[in-house]
Structure 1
Amino acid sequence: MLKLSNETKVGILTVLGITLLVLGFNLLKGKSLFSHNRTIYAVYKQVNGLQPSNAVQVNGLVVGTVSKLDVMNNDPSRILVSITLTKDLDIPRNSIARITSDLLGVKTVQVDLGNAKEYLQNNDTIYAGVDGSFTDALKQQLNPLVTKLQGTLSHIDTVLLTVTAILDTTAKGNLQDAIRHLSVTMNNLSHTTASLNGMLDPNKGNVQATFNNLASITGNLKDNNAKISGILDNAKKTTDALANGNIEKTLLQLQQTVNSLNATMAKLNSTDGTVGLMLNDKKVYNNLQYSLGNLNKLLEDLRVNPKRYVHFSLFGKKDKTKPLPSDSVTAQ
C-alpha cells in the first residue's frame, strides 16, 4: 500500500480547499460549473441598487441570476448588466428585462416576454427597462396631493388675511357685543326652558293641571251621559213638534196681525180719523182741554152750590149763592 507523506497530504487538502472555495464563490455568485449556462446582456441608465446574485425571473419563475455589473466606456449613464440564465428556455428578441423591487427593497430582474418569432442567443443583448421604486411610486401619488395642499394653504392664508383686515377695532367691538347679546339670549332661553319644564311638571305643572281638568270634564260628561241623552231627546221632541205643527199658518196669522197693527198705527199718526186728530191736531187738544176745564168748574159749582140746581125749601127761602172756593178756581 502506498504510503503518503504528511507534505503530500497537506498539499492535497490545500488543493481540495481551494477548489471548494472557488466552487462556493461561484455558487454564491449564481454560477454553476457543471451546467450549460447562457449569458445575455442589458444596458441600463440606472440600476436602482441592483447587485450581483439578484434573481432573474420570468413569470415569477427564477431562471437565472445577475452575474456582473460594469460601467461602459467610463460613462455612468450606461451600465452593462450581465445576466446568467441557468434554465434552458426560449426568450423572444423583443422581450424586456425590467429591474423591479418588492416592499422590502429586494431587487429583481423581471423578464417580460415578447411575441417575436426569433429568440435570444448566448451573448445577445435584451431591451432594458426600470420600474420606479416604492418611494418613487409614493412620491408620484403624493405629488398631486402636495400640490393641492399648497393651493389650499394659499387660499387659507388669503382668507385669514381677509378676516384680519375685516376684524378691525370696530368690528371686534361689534363682535364682542354680539357675543354678549348671544349670552343674554342663551340665558333667556334657559329661563324659558325652565318655565316650560315647570309647566310640564307631571305633579304641579299647568299643562298637567289642564289635562287633569280635561279628564275631570270628560269624566263628568261620561257620568252624565244619560242626562245629556235625555236633554237631546227632549230637544229632538221639541224640534219635531215644531216641525210637525202648523207653523206656516201661525206665521201667516202673525204677519196679518203685524200688518193690522201697522195700519192702525198709520191711522193714529195721520189726521184723517178722530183719534188721529186727537193725537196729532193741537187745536183739538186745546179745545178738549178747555171743555174739560169748564166741565170741572161746573162740577165744582154743583158741589158748592147744589141748591142753585136743585130747589127744595119748606119755607120758600132762597139761599144765598156761595162763591167757588179758591182751590177750585184753576181747572186742569
Structure 2
Amino acid sequence: MFKVSNETKVGVLAAVSIAMLILGFNLLKGKSLFSKSKKIYAVYTQVNGLQPSNTVQVNGLVVGSVSNLEIMDKNAGRILVELRINKKVDIPQNSVARIASDLLGTKTVQIDFGNANAYLEDGDTIYAAVDGSITDALKEQLSPLAKKLEVTLGSVDSVLLTINSIFDPGTKGNLREAIAHLNTTMGNFTRTSASLNSMLDPQHGNVKATFDNLESLTANLKNNNERINAILGNAEKTTAALANGQLDKTLLEMQQMVARLNETIAKLNSTDGSIGMMLNDKKVYNNLQNSLNSLNKLLEDLRVNPKRYVHFSLFGKKAKVQPIPSDTAKAL
C-alpha cells in the first residue's frame, strides 16, 4: 500500500488552507472565482464611506458588489470605483450608478436604468451620482428652522428689553398692589361662592324654600282653578256688557249727574234761592240763630214749669213759677 509521508500531508493541508483563505478573502471582497462576471467603473468626487464588498443593486435586487476603490489624483478629488456585476443583466449606457444609504448607514450602489438601446460592456464607465446622507437631509431641514429660531430669539430679546424698560420700580409697585387687590377680590369671590352654595343647599337653602313656596302657590292655584275660571268668566261677561254699549250710557248719565250737581252748587253759592240766602245772608243766619235760642228757652221753660202751660189742680192752688236754669246761670 502506498504510504504518504507526514511532510506530504502537511504540504497538502497548507495548500488547501491557502486556497481556502484566498477564496474567502475574494468572497469577502465580493469577488467570485467560479462565476463569470463583468467589471464596470464609476468615477465619484466623494463616496460617503463606500467600502469594498458593498452591494450593487438594481431595483432592490443584488446583482454584484463593489470590488475596489482607487484614488485618481493626489488630492482625492476623483475616486474610481470598480463594480463587479455577477448577474446576467443588460445595463443601458445612459444608466446612473448612485451611492445610497439606508437608515442604518449601510452604503449601496443603486443602478438606475436609462432608456438607451446600447448596453454597457466589460470595462465600460457608468455615470455616477451620490445621494445626500441623512445628516445632510437633516441639515437641509434644520437650517431654515435655525434661521427662524434665531429671528424668534432676537424678537424675544427685544420684548424682554422692552418689558424691563416698562417695568420700572413704580410700575412694579403698582403691579404688586394690583396683585394684592386681586387676592382680596378672589377672597371675596370665595366667600360669595360659599354664600351661593349655602343658598343652593338642596336641604336647607333659601332657594329650596323659595321653590317650596312656589310649589305651594302653584298648588293653591291648581286647587282654586275653578274659582279663577269663574272670575275670568264674570270678567268676560262684564267686558262683554261694557262692549255692548252700557259703558257709554253710564258715562253719559254720570256726566248729566255732575252737571246737575254743579248747577245745585252754583245755586247754593248765589242769593237767588232760599237755601242760598240762608247760606250767604248773615242776617238770615242771625235771625235763625235767635229763633233757635228762643225755641230752646221755650222748651226748657216747658220742662221746668209744665204747669204754666197745662194747669190741673183739684184744690185750685196755683203752682209757684220756677226760674229757668239757663237764666239762673246767666245771673250768676
Task: Bin the TM-score by the shorter chain.
Answer: 0.7 to 0.9
**Change over 3 Å in CA distance of 1:15–1:266 after alignment to 2:** same
Kindly state the Cα deviation for residue 12 of structure 1 after the two structures are TM-superposed.
3.1
**Change over 3 Å in CA distance of 1:239–1:109 after alignment to 2:** closer
The aligned runs of 1:82-121 (5 Å cut-off) are 82-121=82-121
Q: What amino acid is aligned across from residue 72 of structure 1 in structure 2?
A: M
Kindly state the Cα deviation for residue 161 of structure 1 after the two structures are TM-superposed.
1.5
The Cα offsets for residues 55-106 of structure 1, whole Å up to 9 and x where unpaired, read as 0001111111101111003231111111111112111111111111111111
Alpha-carbon distance in structure 2 between the residues aligned to 1:88 and 1:17: 31
Contact 2:95 2:126 in 1 (8 A): yes
Contact 2:279 2:285 in 1 (8 A): no
TM-score norm. by structure 2 comes to: 0.77
The aligned runs of 1:141-160 (5 Å cut-off) are 141-160=141-160
Q: Residue in 2 aligned with 1:67?
A: 67
**Change over 3 Å in CA distance of 1:67–1:293 after alignment to 2:** closer
**Change over 3 Å in CA distance of 1:98–1:272 after alignment to 2:** same
Judge which range, 36-45 or 261-270, deviates more.
261-270
**Change over 3 Å in CA distance of 1:106–1:255 after alignment to 2:** closer
Alpha-carbon distance in structure 1 between the residues aligned to 2:287 and 2:6: 199
Kindly state the Cα deviation for residue 118 of structure 1 after the two structures are TM-superposed.
1.7
Alpha-carbon distance in structure 2 between the residues aligned to 1:19 and 1:291: 177
Q: What amino acid is aligned across from residue 182 of structure 2 in structure 1?
A: L
**Change over 3 Å in CA distance of 1:58–1:260 after alignment to 2:** same
Q: What amino acid is aligned across from residue 192 of structure 2 in structure 1?
A: T
**Change over 3 Å in CA distance of 1:238–1:289 after alignment to 2:** closer
Alpha-carbon distance in structure 1 between the residues aligned to 2:6 and 2:285: 194
* Structure 2 residue 37 is the aligned partner of structure 1 residue 10: no
**Change over 3 Å in CA distance of 1:244–1:35 after alignment to 2:** closer
Kindly state the Cα deviation for residue 120 of structure 1 after the two structures are TM-superposed.
1.1
SS of residue matched to 1:145: helix
Alpha-carbon distance in structure 2 between the residues aligned to 1:136 and 1:293: 136
SS of residue matched to 1:74: coil
Q: Residue in 1 aligned with 2:76?
A: 76
Alpha-carbon distance in structure 2 between the residues aligned to 1:112 and 1:294: 152
Q: Residue in 2 aligned with 1:313?
A: none
* Structure 2 residue 174 is the aligned partner of structure 1 residue 174: yes
Alpha-carbon distance in structure 2 between the residues aligned to 1:245 and 1:17: 140
Kindly state the Cα deviation for residue 219 of structure 1 after the two structures are TM-superposed.
2.3
Kindly state the Cα deviation for residue 289 of structure 1 after the two structures are TM-superposed.
6.9
**Change over 3 Å in CA distance of 1:274–1:151 after alignment to 2:** same
The Cα offsets for residues 201-255 of structure 1, whole Å up to 9 and x where unpaired, read as 2233222212122222222333344444555556566667777896665654554
TM-score norm. by structure 1 comes to: 0.77
Q: Residue in 1 aligned with 2:263?
A: 263
Alpha-carbon distance in structure 2 between the residues aligned to 1:70 and 1:213: 103
Gaps of 5+ in 1: 300-326, 328-332
Alpha-carbon distance in structure 2 between the residues aligned to 1:204 and 1:290: 78
Q: How many residues align?
A: 302
Q: Residue in 2 aligned with 1:41?
A: 41
The Cα offsets for residues 36-56 of structure 1, whole Å up to 9 and x where unpaired, read as 211111111111111111100
Alpha-carbon distance in structure 2 between the residues aligned to 1:97 and 1:148: 37
SS of residue matched to 2:73: helix
SS of residue matched to 2:152: helix
Kindly state the Cα deviation for residue 107 of structure 1 after the two structures are TM-superposed.
0.8
SS of residue matched to 2:208: helix
Kindly state the Cα deviation for residue 176 of structure 1 after the two structures are TM-superposed.
0.2
* Structure 2 residue 54 is the aligned partner of structure 1 residue 54: yes
**Change over 3 Å in CA distance of 1:31–1:210 after alignment to 2:** same
Gaps of 5+ in 2: 296-326, 328-332
Structure 1 vs Structure 2 CA RMSD: 3.7
Q: Residue in 1 aligned with 2:140?
A: 140
Q: What amino acid is aligned across from residue 126 of structure 1 in structure 2?
A: I
**Change over 3 Å in CA distance of 1:28–1:266 after alignment to 2:** same
SS of residue matched to 2:10: helix
Q: Residue in 1 aligned with 2:222?
A: 222
Q: What amino acid is aligned across from residue 204 of structure 1 in structure 2?
A: H
Q: What amino acid is aligned across from residue 91 of structure 2 in structure 1?
A: I
Alpha-carbon distance in structure 1 between the residues aligned to 2:137 and 2:247: 106
Alpha-carbon distance in structure 2 between the residues aligned to 1:73 and 1:245: 128
Judge which range, 78-87 or 250-259, deviates more.
250-259
Alpha-carbon distance in structure 1 between the residues aligned to 2:70 and 2:246: 134
**Change over 3 Å in CA distance of 1:113–1:277 after alignment to 2:** same
SS of residue matched to 1:158: helix
**Change over 3 Å in CA distance of 1:273–1:137 after alignment to 2:** same
Q: What amino acid is aligned across from residue 164 of structure 2 in structure 1?
A: T
Alpha-carbon distance in structure 2 between the residues aligned to 1:289 and 1:6: 186
Alpha-carbon distance in structure 2 between the residues aligned to 1:211 and 1:293: 71
* Structure 2 residue 165 is the aligned partner of structure 1 residue 162: no
